[in-house]
Amino acid sequence: MALDAETRDHLIETVRRFVAERLRPIEAQVAENDAVPDDILAEMRALGLYGLTIPEEYGGLDLSMEDECLVGIELGRTSPAFRSAFGTNVGIGSQGLVMFGTAEQKQKWLPGIASGELVTSFALTEPEAGSDSASVQTRATRDGDVYVLNGAKRYITNANKAGLFTVMARTNPDVRGGGGVSAFLVPRDLPGLSIGKPEKKMGQQGAHICDVIFDNVRVPVANRLGGEGEGFKVAMQVLDRGRLHISSVCIGVAERLIADCVAYASERKQFGQPIAAFQLIQGMIADSKTEAMAARALTLESARKRDSGQNVTLEAAASKYYASEMVGRVADRAVQIFGGAGYVADYGIERLYRDVRIFRIYEGTSQIQQVVIARETMKRGG
Ligand code: COS
């Protein structure tokens, strides 16, 4: 649901101030400790960030896709690890339930997700099912009024904090591909479910990804999300939304880096003048600005299309593809403009350079976005 303009502006201003005053000052500390402090998580809960996209009747803000993207851009102006703390609740961890859950399922879990008491994770990826996500091997075998889950998921964001997982598992081994897959809501405390250690990663320290292992986990039939065999489509529709969200975060990081570049280039003097006076520096700033503006326009236009009820599989893939590649180029130019200062840790530029690398990989690699864009374009006839 779209907020009225005044409420939306107030929300964006509140998030902007929170990012500037509370998050940016501790970016380096969060990276160093590989953890977001508890008091900051509590403030995020109090601000309603965990429930941005959850329907109002369950305690959330029910943001439209466009408003979610505008908030995502603000959150992008700091280390992406902060957003990740509640990102799964807002996106891939909750949207299957929001879009396909029964009234009982929603009543049971959405209030906790909206308040942030309950952290959620999206468990699709497996060791042998990454880009080829329809080939999941985790099995869900029906046994009376439960499904018995066996298998392993990989690189699952927030798994170490999650109380509830949306798990895609194969219910029909005779059907290859997505048609044999179903989705389940799996509480963390079911016997047989265990979580691996957080992986050591290139960037986004403070955000965690872990394996999730299912060893004869008995999940009630009532926890199935959608019909049997519909799990892959649930996952794909969740990702259509998630990809727009990630695009907005890419745009925020790019805009932050451009502002950092302008500030640094205006102060840093070489050859007797600020380096901002040199046209080769200006060329890099111009390229970054133009591309960030293009990503913003594409993403917000795609979000508005989704809000008007249109299918945005192509638009979400195109936004994610362009925005994630764009922020990679912007971060690379930022290191170049900062020179040696961009390569050492003190200025935080090298940290953001590492942080943004994952945007081209998770929620679908750039190559998968290209496949989706080409297929959809051919389907639409151009
Ligand atoms: N919305 C609704 N339905 C969709 C859909 C979408 N966005 N995308 C695919 N489907 C449907 C198709 O219509 C098809 O339905 P039918 O069998 O009824 O025709 C079914 O799902 C299978 O789709 P498709 O044939 O395109 O599957 P493929 O295995 O060829 O390809 C890709 C699917 C590659 C697009 C998919 O596996 C993908 O997005 N991979 C990347 C996964 C990813 O993002 N991982 C990150 C993990 S989450 S952090």
| pLDDT by position in tens, the chain (length 382) | 678 999 999 999 999 999 999 999 999 999 999 999 999 999 999 999 999 999 999 999 999 999 999 999 999 999 999 999 999 999 999 999 999 999 999 999 999 999 999 999 999 999 999 999 999 999 999 999 999 999 999 999 999 999 999 999 999 999 999 999 999 999 999 999 999 999 999 999 999 999 999 999 999 999 999 999 999 999 999 999 999 999 999 999 999 999 999 999 999 999 999 999 999 999 999 999 999 999 999 999 999 999 999 999 999 999 999 999 999 999 999 999 999 999 999 999 999 999 999 999 999 999 999 999 999 999 999 9
Separation CA 162–CA 174 (nearest Å): 32
The answer to whether residues 226 and 185 touch, using CB atoms and an 8 Å cutoff, is no
Given the residues 74, 230, 255, 363, the one annotated as active site = 363
Separation CA 234–CA 178 (nearest Å): 10
363 is catalytic: yes
Our CA angle for 71, 119, 185, nearest 5°, is 115
Q: Token pair for residue 338?
A: 């900062």
Separation CA 309–CA 297 (nearest Å): 19
Residues paired with residue 62 on neighbouring β-strands, in sequence order: none
- Domains contained in the chain, CATH given: 5-115 (1.10.540.10), 120-229 (2.40.110.10), 233-380 (1.20.140.10)
Which atom of ligand 1 lies nearest, measured to the CA of 243?
A: 44
Separation CA 372–CA 247 (nearest Å): 16
Expressed in angstroms and rounded, the spacing between residue 203 Cα and the centre of ligand 1 is: 28
Q: Token pair for residue 44?
A: 């995020």
The answer to whether residues 313 and 372 touch, using CB atoms and an 8 Å cutoff, is yes
**Residue 36 beta carbon below 6 angstroms from any ligand 1 atom:** no
> Best substitution site from 132, 133, 305 to test ligand 1's pocket, by max atoms within 8 Å of Cβ?
133
pLDDT of 281 reads 98
Residues paired with residue 184 on neighbouring β-strands, in sequence order: 167, 224
| Cα 318 from chain centroid (whole Å) | 16
pLDDT of 2 reads 75
Separation CA 115–CA 134 (nearest Å): 32
Q: Token pair for residue 352?
A: 């953001």
pLDDT of 70 reads 98
The residue written with tokens 């989705």 in the block is 183
| Amino acid letter for position 326 | M
For residue 192, the tally of other CB atoms under 10 A from its CB is 14
Separation CA 126–CA 34 (nearest Å): 24
| Amino acid letter for position 374 | A
- Does residue 124 sit in helix, strand or coil? coil
Separation CA 259–CA 267 (nearest Å): 13
**Residue 361 beta carbon below 6 angstroms from any ligand 1 atom:** no
**Residue 363 beta carbon below 6 angstroms from any ligand 1 atom:** yes
Tell me which long-range contacts 100-105 makes (C-beta under 8 A, separation of at least 24).
100/183, 100/225, 100/226, 100/230, 100/234, 101/185, 101/225, 104/222, 105/185, 105/222, 105/223, 105/225
**Residue 233 beta carbon below 6 angstroms from any ligand 1 atom:** yes
Q: Token pair for residue 83?
A: 């957003």
pLDDT of 1 reads 67
User: For the chain, where are the E strands, in sequence order?
Assistant: 120-123, 139-143, 146-157, 164-170, 181-187, 193-195, 209-220, 224-225, 269-270, 273-274
The residue written with tokens 């895609």 in the block is 168
Residue 190, phi then psi, degrees to nearest 5: -70, 135
Which atom of ligand 1 lies nearest, measured to the CA of 132?
A: 37
pTM, whole model, 2 decimals? 0.97
**Residue 126 beta carbon below 6 angstroms from any ligand 1 atom:** no
**Residue 362 beta carbon below 6 angstroms from any ligand 1 atom:** yes
DSSP state of 226: S
The answer to whether residues 78 and 23 touch, using CB atoms and an 8 Å cutoff, is yes
